[in-house]
Each structure stands twice: as structure tokens, then as C-alpha cells.
Copies of this chain bind each other. A is one copy, B any other.
């Protein structure tokens, strides 16, 4: 009998809990802890071996008590709480799993984790998580089996709506944290292409796109992510000539989003004055020059060189930014206002399904010059609870937890799932759950973001 403590009962939990509660092998007992007792009880109620409870992470005594009862802890809390949880796990000598990016303070616990025989496994969700595992599986297959040198690695991931739910001119709805989408990329993108370092400032990011095709799912476009350069070391690709990671959207999204960026609507650095009573039309007007008679639409088209009858204006009109509708906020940054609007417009309807898409493109030295391997992964949501996002974040954590508790994974220290010990069994199990990698036949050349 093994005990798992799950901290946080948010959107990832259904798929995670479902896998763990039903998995065979060790007998598992799960305590699901959330600051909302109601949420914890509700998500636990269908499972005889899951107990929901009220939990306050700032209550150290409760944290230590719960960690002590468990054999392994999975933290789905916001990233800022992971360090406190990790320290409690070290004290109690319990393993910890998260799907969050590793922090510097988490890294600093490595020696202690090794010394205490504890595994603190980070970045074991989708992105980060499955991206690492599928990347390393592809790279190792080339390097270890054939000894061939990797010349380029390009990787894209996107959380989108399933084709059947794609019914707005943005071809996009929020399938995860809206705030992260509104503030996405607010940092210079850094990558290397054909041996040349490339930097793209935020305000140009959504104009530097690359077309991507995924068999059976059509066309996408990608914009580069923040810092791709650091993945060279992580993936053992120090001499790689091209290293680029990006985010996937459906074609046309970025052209419209770029207009919102150009206006300054994604700015989160100041509070708007005079917001009380303002309409969305007034809001847009604050980012345009003053003119005594010209319409907001007219000024916007002239300012940003937009076709008055084109696709972008359709996207913008559909959002309702030209409407005299009261915003209903009184203290907010431009990004807050935009998020408030988008949460109404890009909301998933109950019948909507989401979709995760990922593609890796690897170039390596073959016998006849550069050869290419292109692998894709597409996961569709089942329903509003078992979304593609919940499955692809929750399952890797759940699978890793099981593998650790059964002793199939014996690693210790502060780790990421980038070695075969992790990716082989986790990807194998994901495949049985329907998350599988497709090798693409079309190896047409890359364009130039």
C-alpha cells in the first residue's frame, strides 16, 4: 500500500487522479488537498481510494503532517510554492513531482536531495515535460543508435481548440491559463539558426512566423519562444547549428494578435486612468492618435496599415473592441482589460474540445548530407473535464509517480525527465493511453523567423 499526496485540485487533477486511482500494480491511496475543501471533495468523490481535504500551503504544520503521511508528493500548486513543499519533502525524505519549470532555488537542493535519497522531479507535464521526453527520444535514437551528429533541432508546441470546435476568426480559444496567453512572449526571443544567433524583440515577435504542417490536422504557424538557447545544454546539443523552440497557432492568429501588441494592449506595466465608465471603443481609442472627426476604425486602419475589409479587421470586430460596451473594470492595466474581454470571447463552450499539437524537426548528418526526422504528436480532448491539456499534463506526472513507487525509476536528486530512464517507460505508457508520436513524411525545408 502506497500513499500519494496531491497538492492542488485544479484542471490537471481529473486525468491525473483517474490514472492513479485505477492503475494496477501497487495498491494506492491518494489524498487530494486543496485550499477549497469543496473542490477537493468533488474531484475525489468518484474514487474509493481518493480522499479530498482542505489544505493551506502556508500552514507548515499541516504541510509537514501531510507530506509525512505520504510516500510521494505531486505538487500542482503555483510554481512559487514548490520550494516550500520541496523542503518539507526533503525533511520527510519523500519524493516530489511537479510539471513546472525548475527554479534556481529548486536546483540548489540537489545535493541535499541526493544525500537524503529523494527525487525532486520537475518539468514532468506537457510543456515542459512531454516536449523534453519526445525530443530526447528522437535525439537519442539518432545519436546513440547511429552516432550521427545533430545539426538542427526545432520544436513547436501549441494548446488549441480541436478542429470541430474551431468556429471563430481567431481559430483560438483559451484552453489553459488566459493570463499566460495574454502575456506570452513578453521577452526577447533568443535562438540560433544555421550557426547565427538571432534575437527578436517582443514587438516584432508575431511578425516572424514559420509555417508548420501536421498530417491530418492541416496548417499552423509558429512564433519563437523566449530563450531557446538554454536548451542546447539540456539536450546535449552544444554544437548544434540551429536550436529553436516555438509556439503553434492556427494561420492568421498571429497577424491579429500583432495588432493588439502594436497598440499596447498586452502591456501590464501601468494602471489605466479614467477606466471607470470606459467602453471597449474608448479603450482602443486611448492607444490611437487624437483626431476631431475620424472614426476609431479609420484611425486604427491608418495607424497600423490594416485593410479595412480584411481578415484582421474581421478578427478585431469579432472581439467587440469597437463596441460601446462598458468594460466594467476600474483598476486595471491594458493587459487586464484585454484578458477580461478575451475571457468572454475565447471561452470554451461546454461541448468544445481542445487539442494539443507538438512537432519536432531534427536535422542530422546522414550519408548523403543533412537528413531530417520530423515527428508530430496530436492529442484531442475528450470532454470539458478530460481535456487534452489535462491528460498531457496529468498523465506524465501520474505515470512517473507509479514508476517511482514501483521502483522502475530509481533516480535521486533534483532532476528533469530528459534521460531514457524516464522517457522510455513514460512515453510507452502514454502510447497505451493514446498519446503517440507520428513520424511525418513531408520534410520540406524550413522558413525563416
Q: Which of B200, B286, B448 contacts A264 (CB 8 A)?
A: B200
Interface of A: prevailing SS: loop
Residue of B188, B197, B198, B286 near A196 (CB, 8 A) is B286
Q: How far is the CA of A272 from the CA of B198 in the complex (A)?
A: 10
Known: A194-B290, A196-B286. A273 touches B201 (CB 8 A): no
Q: Establish whether residues B197 and A274, one from each chain, have CB atoms under 8 Å apart when the complex forms.
A: yes
Q: Is A110 an interface residue (CB 8 A)?
A: no
A201 to B287, CA, bound (A): 8
Q: Among A197, A208, A272, A292, which residue has the most Cβ atoms of chain B within 10 A?
A: A197
Q: A334 — nearest CB in chain B belongs to which residue?
A: B199
Interface string of A251-265 (1 = CB under 8 A from B): 000000000001110
Q: Which residue of B198, B264, B272 contacts A204 across the interface (Cβ within 8 Å)? A: B264
A364 to chain B, nearest CB (A): 19
- The yes or no answer to A80 lying at the interface (CB within 8 A) is no
With A289-B448, A289-B449 known as contacts, the answer to whether A273 contacts B196 (CB < 8 A) is no
A285 proximal to B (CB < 8 A): yes
Smallest CB separation, A300 vs chain B (Å) = 12
A290, B188: Cβ atoms under 8 Å? no
- Nearest neighbor of A273 in chain B, beta-carbon distance: B197
**Contact call A208/B289, Cβ cutoff below 8 A:** yes
> Across the interface, which residues of B come within 8 angstroms of A200, CB to CB?
264, 287
Question: When the two chains form their complex, are residues A272 and B449 in contact, meaning their CB atoms are under 8 A apart?
Answer: no
Return chain B residues, CB-CB under 8 Å to A194.
290, 292
Q: Give CA–CA (A287, B264) in the complex, Å.
A: 22
In Å, the complex CA distance between A273 and B262 comes to 28
The reply to whether A201 and B264 contact each other, CB–CB distance below 8 Å, is yes
Complex interface: chain B residues within 8 A of A449 (CB): 289
A287 touches B334 (CB 8 A): no
In the complex the two chains form, is B199's CB within 8 Å of A290's CB?
Answer: no
In the complex, the chain B residue whose C-beta lies closest to that of A289 is B448
A267 at the interface (CB under 8 A from B): yes
List 20 other contacts, CB 8 Å, given A194-B290, A196-B286: A190-B270, A190-B273, A193-B290, A196-B285, A197-B272, A198-B286, A198-B287, A198-B289, A198-B290, A199-B267, A199-B270, A199-B286, A199-B287, A199-B334, A200-B264, A201-B262, A203-B262, A289-B448, A290-B448, A291-B448
Closest 6 CB pairs of A and B: A201-B264, A203-B203, A289-B448, A193-B290, A290-B448, A197-B286
Chain A residues with CB under 8 Å of chain B are 187-188, 190, 193-194, 196-204, 208, 229, 262-264, 267, 269-270, 272-274, 285-287, 289-292, 334, 448-449
